[in-house]
Amino acid sequence: MTAPQPVFRALADPTRREILRLLATRPMSIVEVAAHFDMTRAAVKKHLTVLRDGNLVTMSPVGRTLVSTLNPTGLQPVFNWLEYFDAFWDTRLQSLKAAIEQEQNDD
């Protein structure tokens, strides 16, 4: 199982989350990604490197261009981490449902 820390580090920055949204539409070069932001290509490359380190993006050379592609399976550690809390919410929601039903029965 992949450690969740690099994924959460990658997702912690709003720019990187926006880059992921862009890459969800199609693979893009650094130049194409940079066109959506007011920052240098070097800064975009750093963001893409963090996303790659978090296993959220793959980078492949296409000719002389480096193309980044979303790796949706890289989000699995996030889902695994959040799944732990499902039981908490299920219990809370069941308690809320029982309280509402009891209140309706009391009326």
Give all domains of the chain, ordered by start, each with its CATH number.
Answer: 5-106 (1.10.10.10)
Write the pLDDT tens digit of every residue in 17-69.
999 999 999 999 999 999 999 999 999 999 999 999 999 999 999 999 999 99
Angle at 13 between CA 9 and CA 17, to 5 degrees: 100
What is the value of pTM for the model shown?
A: 0.77
Those residues whose C-beta lies under 8 Å from the C-beta of residue 96, and which sit 6 or more positions away, are none
The string of DSSP codes covering 45-82 is HHHHHHHHHTTSEEEEEETTEEEEEE-GGGGHHHHHHH
Ramachandran area for residue 63 (φ above 0: left; ψ -120 to 50: alpha; else beta): left
